[in-house]
Amino acid sequence: MFNKLKGVEKHFLELERLMSNPKTIQNQETYQRYVREHADLNQIVTLYRNYCHALNELEETMEMLREEDPEIKALARAEIEKLDLKKNNLETELKKLLVPKDKNDEKNVIIEIRAGIGGEEAGLFVSDLFRMYSRYAENKNWEVEIINHHATGVGGLKEIVVMIHGKGAYSRLKYESGTHRVQRVPETEAQGRVHTSAVTVAVLPEAEDVEIYIDPGDIKVDVFRSTGPGGQSVNTTDSAVRITHLPSGLVVTCQDEKSQLKNKNKALKVMRARLLDKMTREQNEKRSAERKSQIGSGDRSERIRTYNFPRGRVTDHRIGLTLYKLENILQGNIEIILDELTTFYQAQALQDAEPLKKPGKERGIPQQN
């Protein structure tokens, strides 16, 4: 990893040389690309240089322990303690920056919320979760676009598929995939008994055309009239679209737009995202057993969170986090949960990262005489 950092610094210096070249400046597109890349590397190169400086200071101070004067030795030991702490802090920051970033983190995100066990109660909780994510997105000034939904007759939703447009949306919401369990007393329950229902959430990064190409010959497109609760027609034209990807068997339906073309384009966006997700999952299955067993892999069969209404409690089972702020969380204030999840997975990644180690023979602290 130390050699990797030396390579990063070398590339950083090369960018500076290219940016000062008059020919580069004349080509503004190339120049701006170099400027952005240089800015992206600035933090890690600065930290790396500070780290190297701390290492050199530490080695020089360790030499002072060879002195005969006891006072000099005592001063050296105190300074070594400070420098060692500084070195360790810089090493931790460098390792964080070197943890491989998810290439999808900056993308828009598609969220699919579907009712599981629990009938109408599960459908009502689909509405609750949709509202929670929508309000969170609004707080971040992100745009929420409904792609498709199926309503129930009591104000709930059998399913809803939305796209959230915003830089970093996937990085913040990617750990929401899984089964969300709700415990509450339904309005129709005369005995006041608590019922348990479940809703599944799938979080997919938006896939670009260049990432997932869909051969027109591999899809079947059906059109039909949009329907509302109970199956009644809500449109007089065949504007709803159902796309079937024949090789994989995946099916996507979209009927929220009045335009058939808009519905088809939205459905294709979801299809690309699902195919990218399928491809990623298949790749993950080929990795080591340790990697596959990591919590938060996005397995939608995994129960990740429980929302207990009688006690006003929300528990995330992956990290053992319990908050008695149920209503606040359902209003979209989920930042604290997302922060805790991000910290947890970053710590996991840091444990797997190789240690920083300077090449060559390690030097030990001379023993006190």
Cα–Cα–Cα angle for 65, 66, 69, nearest 5°?
A: 80
The confidence score (pLDDT) of residue 315 equals 97
Sort strands 303-308 and 178-184 into parallel, antiparallel or unpaired: parallel
* Domains in the chain with CATH codes: 2-98 (no CATH), 109-288+296-349 (3.30.70.1660)
Q: What is the strand order of the sheet 321-323 is part of?
A: 143-151, 157-165, 109-115, 195-205, 178-184, 303-308, 313-316, 321-323
pLDDT along the chain (369 residues), means of 10: 78 92 90 89 91 92 88 90 91 77 86 92 94 96 92 87 93 94 82 89 82 83 72 61 90 85 87 84 57 38 88 95 96 94 78 52 38
CB 161 within 8 A of CB 274: no
The confidence score (pLDDT) of residue 357 equals 54
Say which amino acid occupies 192.
G
Burial of 115 from C-beta contacts in 10 A (0-12 / 13-18 / 19+): buried
The confidence score (pLDDT) of residue 228 equals 60
What predicted TM-score, i.e. pTM, was given to this entire model? Answer: 0.63
